[in-house]
Amino acid sequence: MSLFLKVRASLIAAATMLSVVVSAGLPAVAAEEGKMLVFFGTYTGGDDQGVFVYELDLKSGALTKLGASGGVKNPSFVELHPTADFLYAASEVASHEGKKSGAIAAFAFDRATGKMTKLNEQPSVGAGPCHVTVDATGQCVMAANYGGGSIVSLPINDDGSLGEPVSFFQHEGHGGTPRQKGPHAHSINVDGTNTFAMAADLGLDKVLIYRLDPAKAKLTPNDPAFVKTAPGAGPRHFAFHPSNKFAYVINEIDNTVTAFAFDAKSGELTTLQSITTLPADYTETSHTAEIRVHPSGKFLYGSNRGHDSLAIFTIDEATGKLTAAGHQSTMGSAPRNFNIDPTGQLLLVANQRTNNVVVFRIDQKTGQLTPTGVDIEVPSPVCVRFRPRK
């Protein structure tokens, strides 16, 4: 085993122990220090600055800008390596190097200063990549191509750069609404065992299930190969419960969340429930976007673009089913993305249309959200990611 792989294995073990500490409600290192790095992915007009780096004070919610990185057009969705200081960004474009493809870019960053350095980029094979994820061992990046209706996997090299694509799957078919004339892969997420990858396809009303071999950065279709949502639902983003017994998909077109039971041995998803994200008396146009489960496993949140709110749900930890617990205004327009800091104290909402990020404090008993008063300007923010600052 190379020195890098030995170090990575040690870091993964340490990260697993930290995760256990946080989930047990004990003070982790990041909580004691009270500082985190926050990365915002955005849409850009060209190759100008698009990934912004801030410091977050967990006590006050204050955000302080550290820097920004350029060199990639429309780095809309970003994801961090689980243990090393690398970031991967989807370059959400329709053409790359003369082909109908977007790109995935790799960056290194300095945790002390926030400074980012571009390492390389690789084609996403399909057009319009809108979501990226990194497996738990840090060996593989996966991306969903919305425009191309496909998914792709790429290996991570020892220096954090990306190798050439290994797996590519073109989805086929269509749904029954004007938005569903063809496949539109919208996200790809890995389960808690790092064995299965779930690709929510808005155009097909399906969550497709793949088996993951992280050492080879390889995906293969699972058996069962997918689970269907309701016709016209339009599945968008996906989240696993910390127990790995349940999973949830937020449906963009019909404004619902579908809850599933998850079999971690077979990869099978079994539908439990579908619940609206909107108030009963709301009649205007709205479309969902992001979904997140609180680290405690007690609460789930989903964003509504139009109603411009976060739908709040409590989770029955025995059954996985959801109960509506109200809504919180995002204090901006088009909340495309939001995220919860790893300690579970704060929730940051990125309002794409009003170019602002708002910080809320989470009530640990009820899941309700209270504005901290922090509201900063970020151009066209569409992704939020955290890393403890050391």
Whether omega for the bond prior to residue 221 falls within 30 degrees of 0, making it cis, is no
Top pLDDT among 5 and 168 is at 168
Does the structure show a pLDDT above 80 at 339? yes
> Which DSSP category does 266 fall into?
T
Q: For a pLDDT cut of 90, what percent of the chain falls above it?
A: 88
Indicate the pLDDT class of residue 20, thresholds 50, 70 and 90. Answer: very low
pLDDT at 97: 87
Q: Which one-letter amino acid corresponds to residue 331?
A: M
Nearby residues of 148 by Cβ (< 8 Å), 6 or more positions away: 100, 101, 102, 124, 125, 126, 127, 128, 170, 185
Q: How many Cα atoms are found within 13 Å in the side-chain-facing hemisphere of 233?
A: 24
Q: What is the mean pLDDT of residues 81-91?
A: 97
What backbone phi and psi angles, to 5 degrees, belong to 90?
-80, 120
Q: What residue ranges define each of the domains in the chain, with the CATH number in brackets?
A: 38-388 (2.130.10.10)
What pLDDT, on a 0 to 100 scale, did the predictor assign at position 389?
A: 84
Q: Is the torsion defined by CA of 27, 28, 32, 38 positive or negative?
A: negative
- Greater pLDDT, 30 or 217: 217
**pLDDT attached to residue 275:** 98
Amino acid type, 226: F
Q: How confident is the model at residue 26 (pLDDT cuts 50, 70, 90)?
A: very low
Residue 240 near residue 230 (C-beta atoms within 8 A): no
Predicted confidence at residue 381, as pLDDT, reads 98
Residues 270-277 have a mean pLDDT of: 98
With 70 as the cut, is the pLDDT of residue 308 above it?
A: yes
For residue 10, what pLDDT is reported? 43
Residue 272's nearest CA partner among 259, 254, 262 is 259
Q: Is the pLDDT of residue 238 over 60?
A: yes
Question: pLDDT per residue over 363-375, tens digit each?
Answer: 999 999 999 999 9
For residue 45, what pLDDT is reported? 77
Q: What is the mean pLDDT of residues 215-227?
A: 98
The predicted structure's pLDDT at residue 61: 98
Q: For residue 2, what pLDDT is reported?
A: 40
Query: Is residue 3's pLDDT more than 60?
Result: no
3-state secondary structure of 278: coil
Bridge partner list, 237: 250
- Give the model confidence (pLDDT) of 35-71 as tens digits: 999 999 999 977 789 999 999 999 999 999 999 998 9
Digit-coded pLDDT (tens) for 247-267? 999 999 999 999 999 999 999
Q: How far is CA 196 from the centre of its chain?
A: 16
Please, what is the Cα angle at 172 between 245 and 266, to 5 degrees? 25
Q: Is residue 127's pLDDT more than 60?
A: yes
Using the predicted structure, report yes or no on whether residue 328 has a pLDDT greater than 80.
Answer: yes
**85 CB contacts (<8 Å, ≥6 apart)?**
108, 109, 110, 111, 160, 387
DSSP line for 355-384: TEEEEEEEPTTT--EEEEEEEEE-SSEEEE
**Would you say 378 and 350 are in contact if contact means Cβ atoms under 8 Å apart?**
yes
3-state secondary structure (DSSP) of residue 162: strand
Tell me the three state secondary structure of residue 16: helix
- Token representation of residue 347: 């929730």
How far apart CA 267 and CA 262 sit, in angstroms, is 7
Query: According to the model, what pLDDT value does residue 48 have?
Result: 82
